[in-house]
A and B are shown apart, each in its own frame.
Chain A
């Protein structure tokens, strides 16, 4: 099972930072499939799911941005009441803290992205619940 990687960019919490970053990606011909921003008072981390991960990393790094890859689990969630709860409950019972999560629905398929300290352990536990993980290729094809 190949992991899903997001590109994380460290940016100061300032006007125009997002525009400067997305320009680099646009100029390199990179398509952004999904984005999330986490901030504190002074700084922010912007995470992208992109079609060309390595190229995005190189382009941003070359332009002087501080970048990192973040490995996440992409889980297909049943698009029904209680679908997300089943996953959250399972993680809680196994004492796995979710550091960040976000989700989207595309073509009637719901996908949850979660960041945890120990990706392998979380995958192992969730796999027992008959949950389906999406690979990088699959998630880009949605």
Chain B
């Protein structure tokens, strides 16, 4: 199913011509309207007129996360403030947040992209979508909300947490689709189990759009299995609208990135040099349709690769591999680079392991992984638990090249999150 078949299956040559036209227009607009980019262009000695092909994007300056904080609140606006319609911010744990402005056209466009994402997994106006992301300054919930309304779904703006209420709403309004973070989806599955609610028997759930935190294929399967639904991986970031940047189609084999709206590059996270299709690196995005706040070559810090070749669904927009980590999340333990997702992949592949875990770093590079046992993983024998602990440690060593301590803990004893999970606790005295 297509929302906008013409643009979703556009020929590559036509797509590239459209991208170039939009890139040139964007470069011209920021060069004349945004002092921040005027200065960057001057430093690099580049003029918008020099953009003759898509490869020329490399001449343009990168924009990094710190640039958004430094130009806060209105330094990156490309339109008069009166022409903006909505403000979101991106969570800043320290200091100032990033301010993100939308014009009326930007709001509509973001909803349009969400509509494409939803329809490509088979969502129709007959669906009931319960939106479990945080409403407010965070883009996650509102952008999805507008997109789902565009498709004609009944949207329940539940927000995250308050699991009792979530279950009530799901039961009484026969919710078919949820939009949720992976950690809350797992939490909810546990909660339903404790309440004695069988999702296959008692709920009408069919699909979940899961995103806002990176997660692994093993976690996807765990959620699918626990809730009896299809889980579609979604990718977005507040700096680029929020959700709806890249979503999976019904084939679940990578996320189509809407290339008519975003110019996509994969670069070496250290040098910023472009990498060819198929190689893993940092995702860099340039907005092609944004009015209020265009961004050139934004360094997302997300690590992924482009999946080469066509998708059976017929969409020509290239697919991104599942995000394997954030350049910022990378841990260095005993000199080894480790992404938390590597640890999660190992844990979630073991049936005796439950749904929650925690990585604790202490002292001089001591790594301990606290792992919840699955309810069914306990048979009363301490020897079996000891054996499982060493099996987990051995498997982790094979994956991350350093052997952590593994502490198995009873199910439900690690802190749970109803929003974004805090998986890593770094108390090292380095």
Contacts and interface: CB of A to CB of B under 8 A. Distances in A.
Interface of A: 6, 8, 10-12, 38-40, 42-45, 47, 64-70, 99-100, 115
Q: Choose among B373, B375, B382 the residue with the greatest number of A CB atoms under 10 Å from its CB.
A: B382
Given A42-B408, A64-B412, A10 B381 contact: no
B243 to A, nearest CB: 35
A12 B413 contact: yes
Given A40-B386, A66-B373, A66-B375, A11 B410 contact: yes
A42 B407 contact: yes
A10 B385 contact: yes
Interface in B380-413: 380-383, 385-386, 389, 407-413
Given A10-B373, A10-B385, A66-B373, A47 B380 contact: yes
Nearest to B385: A43
A45 B385 contact: yes
B412 A12 contact: no
B191 interface: no
Contacts of B373: 10, 66
B344 to A, nearest CB: 21
A115 to B, nearest CB: 7
Contact of A65 (B380, B386, B410): B410
B425 to A, nearest CB: 17
B352 to A, nearest CB: 12
Nearest to A40: B386
B379 interface: yes
Nearest to A69: B380
A93 B87 CA distance: 78
Contacts of B409: 12, 43
A70 B412 contact: no
A40 B412 contact: no
B378 interface: yes
A66 B372 CA distance: 11
B382 A40 contact: yes
Contacts of B386: 40
Contacts of A64: 412
A47 B83 CA distance: 70
Q: Choose among A11, A38, A66 the residue with the greatest number of B CB atoms under 10 Å from its CB.
A: A66
Contacts of B389: 40, 42
A42 B385 CA distance: 10
Contacts of A100: 381
Contacts of B410: 10-12, 65-66
A90 to B, nearest CB: 22
Nearest to B380: A8
Contacts of B381: 8, 45, 70, 99-100, 115
Given A43-B409, A66-B411, A69-B380, 11 more contacts: A8-B378, A10-B385, A40-B382, A42-B389, A43-B382, A45-B382, A45-B385, A66-B375, A66-B378, A70-B381, A99-B381
Contacts of B375: 66
B380 A43 contact: no
A64 B410 CA distance: 9
26 contacts: A6-B380, A8-B378, A8-B381, A11-B410, A12-B409, A12-B413, A38-B382, A39-B382, A40-B382, A40-B385, A40-B386, A42-B389, A42-B407, A43-B407, A43-B409, A44-B382, A45-B381, A45-B382, A45-B385, A65-B410, A66-B373, A66-B410, A68-B380, A70-B380, A99-B381, A100-B381
Contacts of A39: 382
B336 to A, nearest CB: 24
A39 B385 CA distance: 10
A52 B408 CA distance: 29
A68 B382 CA distance: 12
Contact of B383 (A10, A67, A99): A99
Contacts of B407: 42-43
A70 B413 contact: no
Contacts of A65: 410
Contacts of A38: 382
B385 A68 contact: no
Nearest to A115: B381
Contacts of A10: 373, 378, 385, 410
A68 B408 contact: no
A124 B411 CA distance: 36
Contacts of B408: 42-43
B194 to A, nearest CB: 9
A18 to B, nearest CB: 14
A8 B382 CA distance: 10
